[in-house]
Each structure stands twice: as structure tokens, then as C-alpha cells.
Structure 1
Amino acid sequence: MKKWLKWSFMLLCISVLLIPLAACGKEDVTKIRIGEVTRSLFYAPQYVAIEKGFFKEEGLDVTLTTTAGGDKTMTALLSDSIDIALVGSETSIYVQAQGANDPVINFAQLTQTDGTFLVAREDIQDFTWDMVKKSTFLGQRKGGMPQMAGEYTLKKHDIDPHADLELIQNIDFANIAPAFSSGTGEFVQLFEPTASVFEKEGIGHIVASFGEESGHLPYTAYMTKDSFINENEETVEKFTRAIYKAQQWVDEHSAEETAKIITKYFDNTDLEILTMSIDRYKSQGSFATDPILEKEEWENLQNIMDEAGELPARVDYETLVNTSIAEKVIKE
């Protein structure tokens, strides 16, 4: 009887010690809801951050949702359905133009170039941009960053996208690749890995990069409401630190190593294509190696939007970009 009481007392003591520790562990974990504008190989560092446990190291439990489109992503953020959005920085400018009381702030950049490639139906060995003139060009959605970067590049090469070719823009993003595959268009603007898949299958041939042509810009960035940063600065800092770890990891490791880690996010794409696509993005500097959104990139973004006739009004860099958290993380 005494032995039983002794063991009962010991178990009670252990329980008393463990309960606070368990409670403390739960309190230290912060849930964060991310909304990505699309599922894209272009966002490889984000998936690396999840799979390598960089968010968990920071005490963050992230839930990733694909919100399918800039408008839907912004609606989800403004309605508090998500905490942080991964989307093109132009969307924060559109929200600002509507007179938002709680501005959407860009606090960490993920990609720093356009992610699309010009794919030709024919195998053109010595491509020049004037070959696009008088062709049927299957472009991206009007007002979206891919289309604006595409138009900017065409104009850079003295091609009027609305006069010198037949520009098709009335096809949904998800149906652009199938439309080209089924015979629509002589040229198409595509993201990876679709561009490489088409090349491998002989459907089309990559002849140029819009990312290389349009220069550095905040193509996709993490953003949230100004109020969220003010109320959760430590959480945003932890989030940014996790992303920075992933950016550095991707930069320091091979394309194949990255591909192997994120393959679960692209079930229908084989490892060879994933590796080839990641290598192509890395070689042209599409993945930002740190989360700081530079002022020069912000201005280039607005110049491209202005050239496309989609810029509501110029917005000062300091109004919608906060680099203080990213700078702090990098200096650590």
C-alpha cells in the first residue's frame, strides 16, 4: 500500500511538472495562414521553408492555401481569411488606389524578376523579337504582372502589342497552356515548369525570357495589412527569418536538391523537369536571395505598370514597403 502511494505521488509530481511545459509549448506556437496567388515552381523557396522546417524553427505553424488570382488573394487578406499574402506587388498599389484605410504593406520579397518565357510553336534557331510581329500571340490576363511585363518587353523591342500582332487576352490563366497545346497561337507566354514540359514534348520551344528582358522588380512579395504588422511585429519577423533561411538554402544548393525537397507540391511533374525549371530560374536570378525589396525595383514595377496603362497613381516606396524587418533579420 505504501509503495502504491509512493508511486502515485511520484506520477502526480511528474504530471504537475509536465502540464506547464506542454502548455508553454502550445503558447509558443503561432498559427499563420498564407495565401499564395497560385501554385508555382516560381515560389520554390517558400516550399523549401515549409519542408525544411524553417517556419517550425521560428515557432510558426503555417497553413498554405492557393487563393487563385490577385483579386481573390487581396479579398482574402482584407477580409482576414488569411494573415499573409504571396502575390504581385502591383496588387498593393491597386488596393491603395481604392482608398484603403489599412494599407497593404510589402515586407518581404520572394521573386525579383518576371517568371514567364516566350514559347514559340516552331523551333526557331536564331530568334529575334521582330519575328513576333504579325503573329498570333497568346498573352496573359490584362492588368496582371505577367501581361504587363510582356507588353513592356514587346515595346522595348519596338513592337506595339495592340497593333503589330494579334494579342489574345481573353483566356483564363489556367487555360492558356491548354489553348496553345490545342493549336491556338504562334507564340505564348508561359511559366515554368509548363514551358519546359512543352519543350520536352515538342509542343513548343523556349526562345526568350521575359524575366531577363524586363529587369528586376518585386514580382511576388509577402504582404499583410499595416495593422497586422503593428500588432504582430515579432511574428512577422519570425516569418521573414524563415523565408530568408529558405532563400539562402536555395541559393547555396543545387537545383536538383531543391527539386527533390519540393516535389510533393508538383505531383504531375517529373524530377528532371522540376530540376531544369529551377535551374533556369536560378540562372537568370529570379529567386531573390534576401527578402529586401529595393526602391529601384519598386520604381521599375511602377514604370512597367504605367507603360501598360494600368498604374492608377504613383505610390511612394515608403508608403507601401517596409524593409525594417527584413534588414533586421539579415543583420543578425
Structure 2
Amino acid sequence: MARPRFLAAAAFAVALGLATVAAPAAGIAQDAERPKLDFAGSVTWLGMVPVLFAVDKGYFTEAGLDVSLQVVLNSSDRVRALTAGSVAFSNLGRTTVISEMARGNASFYYFANIDDSPGSEGCWARPGFKSFADLKGKKIAANTSAEITMAGLLAKAGLTSSDIQYVNLPPNEMQLALSRGDVDAACIWQPILDGLKKAVPDGALLGTDKDTEMFERFGTMSAPDIMIISRKLVEEDPVSAGKLAAAVMKAADFVNANPEEAAQTVAHYFRQPPEAVLAGIKGFTYYGTKDWPEHMRKHGEQMDYLAGWLAESGKIPVKPDVRAWENTAFVPKP
């Protein structure tokens, strides 16, 4: 879900590839015997906050693990890093994960969803368009997960993608395209959605992912993140895998209870002041230890539904059995 996300570090250019950011807790000595289980994540998306917090607060070190952040901005590159053995786990868009399943990539399991932000994707139209019905035959730009939101909103209007002129645009090109009239509407996530509103202030919001069947069914955004972990690690060292999962969920619990401290702790990753990160965090819901088995049941169902949509839409060659990649046996029970 590859999915570019909340561009909290829009002015911060991170080279693509694997840039390691180590941040052990103060006063805790490094132990060469601890398993090295790095995390591939982005510093442009606040869904990563629980894992980043766990790194900085030493939750992994306390669990006897050696975990550093490897900055990998693109979801597809994160999967490749895990498949190559460069990292042990990641948090990334599930459209990418499902695409890898369809290709038969058996290097990982998915085991948790720790962040979601329904309402953060939407479609903004130029003046004169008040609904998706008005956009029949018109040009609509979207990209990756936002295309799923677009399709859901079209369906609400009794339309399909064949009823419009779909334009696949990179997110950073949408604002200019909409303001110039190259497209009549654009569907994208925050904060780029707010940028569209500023570019065409007299336009109209035609809907968000909360107005789609996906949200009605599952209460999630169209394609939320999913946590994946090395299958080799789980099968060869389930104890370390369990400690890793427990540290992540512990951090999510802390972020929910103490968002101000969390924002202070992780703001340096996003090159933003803590108050800006805090404002972004408040637009997210983080999921930790509370009711996680039921939460994962819902996300397993959503993954299966999304896989069907991707196959029917021709985005992937075949619908994979997503449950074959689900493994929560190593996750400590609540």
C-alpha cells in the first residue's frame, strides 16, 4: 500500500535503499549475542510510530533483541529487504503484501495490524462537480490505495472505473494537475488531500474512504497497513518472534495512553516539531494488546476481500489464499 503515506517529512529527502538508524535506550549496553532483527520502515508515515517508539524506548533491548530501524520508503522495497534477509519485520501497505502473495513469495507471514486511519483518503473535485455521478466520462486521478477508495465511491454512485477516464498520477503531481484542469478530480490520502483543497479552494470533497463499502464492512480504511515478519524467523526462533511482537504491541499501548510523550520521542525521525507529530498521531488509531485476536480476525477478512477486489480488477493475476500467510501462533495471548 506501495502506498506512500502521511508526508510528515515532506521536506526531508531520504535516499532510497537501506539507511540504518540505531537508537538504543540510554544506559543499556549493547550485547552482541542478542538476535539482530532489524525493522524496515518509513519516516514519512505516522503508522510507524509504535515501532519507532519501541526502538527509542528500548523495548526490544529489554526483551533481549537487537533491533534498529532501516529506512526504506517504498513498500515494495521493504518486502524485498525482508525477502533478502536484510530485515526481520516491517509495517507496510497490504496491497503490496497481497501482490507478493499472488506472486508466490513465501518469505513472510503477516501477524498484526497496529495502525489505521479511516477518513484520511478522499476525492476532491474541481468546481461544478458535486457528486461522483457528475464525473461520468470525466478524468479522475488516483494512485495505489486511493484507487480502491475511488472505486468504492464510484460504486456508491452506481458507476465503475469504465465510466470515467482514470488517470494514474504520482501523488506529488496531483495538486498541479487538478489546479490546471488536467483532471477533474483527484483521490489521495492526507496530507496531500489538504493540498488539493488549497490548490482548488472552491472545489468539493466528494467523499472519503469512510463512505465506501470497505469501511461499512470492516471499519477500516481501504488498504490499511499490515505487519509482516520473516517466516524463517518464526519457524526457527518463535521465542524471539514472540518477544518482537510483544514489544511492538506494548509500544502501541503506550502511544495510545501517552500520545504527547510518544510525539516527543519520535519527532526526530520525521524532522518535525513534536506538536506537529502529535497533531498527526491524533488522526490515527493504534492497536496493541487489547482484543488483538478479534482485531486480527477482522483484518484477515478484510485482506481476503481486498485480494478478491485486486484480482477481479486485474491488479494481480490470481487471488491468493491470504490465510496461508497469516500466523499469530507466536504472538503472546492477551
Q: Secondary structure at the match of 1:147?
A: helix
Higher helix proportion (structure 1 or 2)? 1
- Cα separation, 1, equivalents of 2:31 and 2:118: 40
Flag the 1:52–1:211 CA change in 2: closer, same or farther, 3 A: farther
- Cα separation, 1, equivalents of 2:310 and 2:273: 33
- Cα separation, 2, equivalents of 1:123 and 1:63: 48
2:193 aligns with: 195
Q: CA deviation at 1:301?
A: 2.2
- Report if the CA contact (8 A) 1:113-1:211 is conserved: no
Flag the 1:192–1:62 CA change in 2: closer, same or farther, 3 A: farther
Flag the 1:269–1:160 CA change in 2: closer, same or farther, 3 A: farther
Q: How many residues align?
A: 295
- Report if the CA contact (8 A) 2:92-2:227 is conserved: yes
1:316 aligns with: 321
- Report if the CA contact (8 A) 1:38-1:69 is conserved: no
TM-score normalized by the length of structure 1:
0.71
Q: Secondary structure at the match of 2:251?
A: helix
- Cα separation, 1, equivalents of 2:179 and 2:271: 20
After the TM superposition, which residues 199-278 of structure 1 pair with which residues of structure 2 at under 5 Å, given as runs?
208-211=207-210, 213=212, 214-215=214-215, 216=218, 219-254=224-259, 258-267=262-271, 271-272=275-276, 274-278=277-281
Which structure has the larger Rg over C-alpha atoms? 1
Give me the CA root mean square deviation. 3.7
1:54 aligns with: 59
Percent identity of the aligned residues? 18
- Cα separation, 1, equivalents of 2:256 and 2:233: 30
After the TM superposition, which residues 1-332 of structure 1 pair with which residues of structure 2 at under 5 Å, given as runs?
26-27=31-32, 29-36=34-41, 39-100=44-105, 102-112=106-116, 116-120=120-124, 128-140=131-143, 144-163=144-163, 165-169=164-168, 171-176=169-174, 179-180=177-178, 184-196=182-194, 208-211=207-210, 213=212, 214-215=214-215, 216=218, 219-254=224-259, 258-267=262-271, 271-272=275-276, 274-282=277-285, 287-290=286-289, 292=293, 293-294=296-297, 295-326=300-331, 328=332, 330-331=333-334
Flag the 1:325–1:132 CA change in 2: closer, same or farther, 3 A: farther
Q: CA deviation at 1:135?
A: 4.3
- Cα separation, 1, equivalents of 2:196 and 2:269: 20
Segment drifting more, 59-68 vs 239-248: 59-68
- Cα separation, 2, equivalents of 1:187 and 1:42: 27
- Cα separation, 1, equivalents of 2:317 and 2:328: 24
Structure 1 counterpart of 2:208, which letter?
Answer: S
Q: CA deviation at 1:224?
A: 2.9
Gaps of 5+ in 2: 1-28
- Cα separation, 2, equivalents of 1:84 and 1:182: 42
Segment drifting more, 103-112 vs 235-244: 103-112
Structure 1 counterpart of 2:39, which letter?
Answer: I
Q: Secondary structure at the match of 1:309?
A: coil
TM-score normalized by the length of structure 2:
0.71
- Cα separation, 2, equivalents of 1:178 and 1:268: 25
Segment drifting more, 172-181 vs 86-95: 172-181
Q: CA deviation at 1:84?
A: 1.7
Flag the 1:123–1:281 CA change in 2: closer, same or farther, 3 A: farther
